[in-house]
Amino acid sequence: MPDPIFERIAIVGAGLIGSSIARAAQAYGAAGAVSLYDSSDDVRARAAGLDLGNVTETLAEAVKDADCVFLCVPVGVLAPVSQATVPHMKAGAILTDVGSVKKQAAEALASADNGAVQIIPGHPIAGTEQSGPEAGFPTLFRDAWHILTPQDGKDEAYAEAVQRLTAFWTALGAKVETMDPGRHDRVLAITSHLPHLIAFNIVSTAFDMETVEQGEVVKFSAGGFRDFTRIAASDPVMWRDVFLNNKEAVLECLGRFSEDLAALQRAIRWGDGDLLMQEFSRARTIRKAIIDAGQDSGAVNFGRNRNGAKDEA
């Protein structure tokens, strides 16, 4: 095994993402030691039985000797968790996060800046609909993008910290790219946030229709609907926080989406088969381009199963 990138890392929030980082860091030798803390007594007890690293009873204990601290909590609590974490960190250590929204995360982490730690927000574009410490797996980040949104106008020590964090995620199998947080939030609004909103909504509509159709919606649910229910099974707290903290970009996408949906509705009403053909063919081309990009560069991470295998075109 190569030398670890960090002697010790700390993970705050031992759920799907936190436990996957712990597993991957150990499996690929990217960290010499791993400490974990979670505010839930139940999660701490479960994590302690999973061989993820040293599960501590306090936040301070977990982060005090860490070279890099990963905040893996819902984005709504990033500010208070950062403020509770930074005073216990070593000088020069890195504070990063995995939040699905980046403008708000950058502000939340910066609110705890004491001038002694290196703050580098981040987001792995990899996940599943599961939550909790049992749901994590070491190959989650393999071939997936990891986006870092470093702060502007920093010194050489900061650039070195960004390089080290990049090396860590690369060791976990991810492809690292840096981006402006606002741009990240606009891109993710259409590729991740809106699809989740649509899934939550369609499942909710089906739930209401279940009563009208006397239990036959669930009984005869077909493949397309089942795929939506997987996404809609995602953690409600995480997604509430995503929408509340990426409001502007999501509302912008939703406006355009509603207009395009209305055009399809109109085409169905007026029997405009040409328009339907045109739109559906375009969508098929996009799906093919995504699959081809994934095969060429290994950079697209979707439809990943727990074993890390990709889905088929």
Ligand X SMILES: O=C(O)C(=O)C[C@]1(C(=O)O)C=C[C@@H](O)C=C1
* Positions that interact with ligand NAD (CB under 6 A): 12-18, 38-40, 43, 72-75, 77, 81, 98-100, 124, 127-128, 131-132, 235, 238, 242
Sign of CA dihedral 124, 161, 75, 45: positive
Contact 164, 6 (CB under 8 A): yes
Cα angle 192-139-37, degrees, rounded to a multiple of 5? 80
Residue 121's binding partner out of ligand NAD, ligand X, none, with CB under 5 to 8 Å set by partner kind: none
Residues between 140 and 199 that touch ligand X (CB under 6 A)? 192
Cα angle 297-299-300, degrees, rounded to a multiple of 5? 120
Which residue's CB is nearer to ligand X, number 4 or number 124?
124
Task: Please state, in angstroms and as integers, the Cα–Cα distance from residue 237 to each residue in 22, 33, 143, 144, 162, following that order.
Answer: 22, 30, 27, 24, 30
**Shortest reach from residue 121's CB to ligand X, in Å:** 13
Which residue's CB is nearer to ligand X, number 74 or number 127?
127
| C-beta neighbour count of 219 within 10 angstroms | 9
104 sits near ligand X (criterion: CB under 6 A): no
Residue 253's binding partner out of ligand NAD, ligand X, none, with CB under 5 to 8 Å set by partner kind: none
125 sits near ligand X (criterion: CB under 6 A): yes
The count of chain residues that interact with ligand X, using the rule CB under 6 A, is 7
Structure tokens at 103: 């403008």
Residue 17's binding partner out of ligand NAD, ligand X, none, with CB under 5 to 8 Å set by partner kind: ligand NAD
Going along 139-256, which residue ranges are E strands? 145-148, 175-178
Residue 43's binding partner out of ligand X, ligand NAD, none, with CB under 5 to 8 Å set by partner kind: ligand NAD
Helix 181-188 / helix 103-110 crossing angle, nearest 10 deg: 140
Residue 39's binding partner out of ligand NAD, ligand X, none, with CB under 5 to 8 Å set by partner kind: ligand NAD
Binding residues for ligand X, rule: CB under 6 A, are 100, 125-129, 192
